[in-house]
Chains A and B, each alone.
Chain A
Amino acid sequence: MNIFTGLYQSLTSQVREINARYSKPSIQMTPLVKICLLFLRFYLFLLIGLLIYKFITVVSQ
């Protein structure tokens, strides 16, 4: 159990370190970049929404 706890703590600390290292995007945020990222967020929101909807309809049948 201690091994798993140690592994988990190591993993979470690495993830926090990665998040801190890449907290600020380095790409120049031109209007085109912002539009593309907004489109991607909308696109993924829609697709994941469809997946969740399908999952709910399948489970409820």
Chain B
Amino acid sequence: MNIYSNLFYKYRKSAKAIRMFLVVAGPGIIVMVADNDAGGITTYTATGAKYGFHLLWFLILLGPVAYYVQEMTVRLGAVTKRGHAEAIFHAFGSFWGWFSLLDLILTDWLTMITEFIGMTAALSIFHVPAYITVLICWTLMGTMIMVGRYWTWEKVALIFCIGNLIYIPCAFMVHPSIKDIVYNSVIPHFPPGGFTNDLFFLLMANIGTTIAPWMIFFQQSSVVDKGLREKDIPFGKTDTIIGAFLTVIVAMFLIIVTGKLLLGVPVESAAQAASMLMPTNKYIGTIIGLFDAGFLGAICISLASSWAFGEVFGWAHSLNNKIKEAPWFYAYYFFAIVLAGVVVLIPRAPLVLITLFVQVIATTLLPAALVFLILLLNDEKTMGKYRNSLYENIMNIAIVVVIIILSTLYGISTIFPNLFA
């Protein structure tokens, strides 16, 4: 074969691979970008306001952490053709299965409330009443799952993911110092003031927002619903890498915005930051209004619960099923989003308490979900040749141990705030 034929052959092969990737891509990008939900945006906003650019290097480290955890769900879903909830029931029995399922339902419901809090706070900047925002969200979320199949839902979700990337041009609009950004991204160091309790809590909050239990359940179920097979695993891994890259980039650019404009200003929520920024730069203020982030999180979290319930109870539970074919799947979905939205509308509802409680409840589920993931990925009967390699085990176990320790400390510090004071 001469050189031109060779080049043409390689071009055709690459083009085919890219087309295949575009078909398979979706779950990884969606779950990672949706990770920058209302809670995540709030955490990054507070991180930038408190420490400027000094924690950019830490955000970069979280990218591979998120990738290694989520990549396991791709393999597990593609090989077993089961969602994470069903996989736990099947492998570990009904006690751990019910614990995981019920904990997931509770965590997801509470997290969805925080997403609705974020969305209502975002649109309240434009004087939109909370009940109108909730109605808009219910309508959009309901329409998304009822129209079309999984592919339609996925493409619409990817459009919302593009909306989440709006923080990137924001960072350019504030004209930060490139030299400072590069230094703080590349050189690990503590901010001025050293390693304090406040810094420790914020680092743990950043870890907690990067790896959330619903992400594990969502991506695995999404891989199953999409119909990915073993041969699609390399593309699924690439999809997850790109998602991890995007989630870190968005987080970093958001920190750059608030680090530049709100440094030293006490910020408790993204909505508060948006209100502060509106007088100086209404575009940036609007963007940090975080409606897109909350909406993306809500559509993914609600599906994660619905899929989990359907898997365990044996209902038809695919977005490719119409309502008549999977009534309980859709009924649960609507029940979950309505219940979450209604809580936000209750006058004097303890929304701050709920936001704190989510962090504690997630602490009960995350270690179990991660440990089960590692054990399943090491089970030869389940995974066959796709089980974890030695390198993957070293990386994954190290990551899981650190996450368990830090998320536990974070949960305990939320229950007993004065313990680490």
Contacts and interface: CB of A to CB of B under 8 A. Distances in A.
Contacts of B404: 43
B154 to A, nearest CB: 29
A44 B408 CA distance: 11
A19 interface: yes
Contacts of B378: 32
A42 to B, nearest CB: 11
B96 A37 contact: yes
B368 A18 contact: no
Contact of B92 (A14, A19, A37, A51): A37
B371 A36 contact: yes
A59 B318 CA distance: 44
Chain B: interface secondary structure?
helix
B353 to A, nearest CB: 11
A21 B148 CA distance: 33
A4 interface: no
Given A40-B368, A47-B363, A47-B408, A54 B89 contact: no
Nearest to A36: B371
Interface of B: 89-94, 96-97, 99, 312-314, 360, 363-364, 367-368, 371, 375-376, 378-382, 404, 408, 411-412, 415-416
A25 B92 contact: yes
Interface in A1-56: 14, 18-19, 22-28, 32-33, 36-37, 39-40, 43-44, 47-48, 50-51, 54
B229 to A, nearest CB: 22
B94 A22 contact: yes
Contacts of B380: 28
Contacts of A50: 412, 415-416
A57 B264 CA distance: 35
B293 to A, nearest CB: 29
Contacts of A23: 93-94
B93 A24 contact: yes
Contact of B94 (A19, A40, A43): A19
B90 A26 contact: yes
Chain B CB within 10 A, most for which of A27, A33, A39, A40: A27
A32 B380 CA distance: 14
Given A18-B313, A22-B97, A47 B364 contact: yes
Contacts of A14: 313-314
B371 A40 contact: yes
A51 B359 CA distance: 13
Contacts of B90: 22, 26
B364 A22 contact: no
A20 to B, nearest CB: 9
Given A22-B93, A33-B375, A47 B411 contact: yes
Nearest to B93: A25
A22 B99 CA distance: 13
A45 B220 CA distance: 28
A60 to B, nearest CB: 16
A33 B380 CA distance: 13
Given A18-B89, A25-B93, A43 B313 contact: no
B415 A26 contact: no
Contact of B91 (A25, A32, A39, A40): A25
A40 B369 CA distance: 10
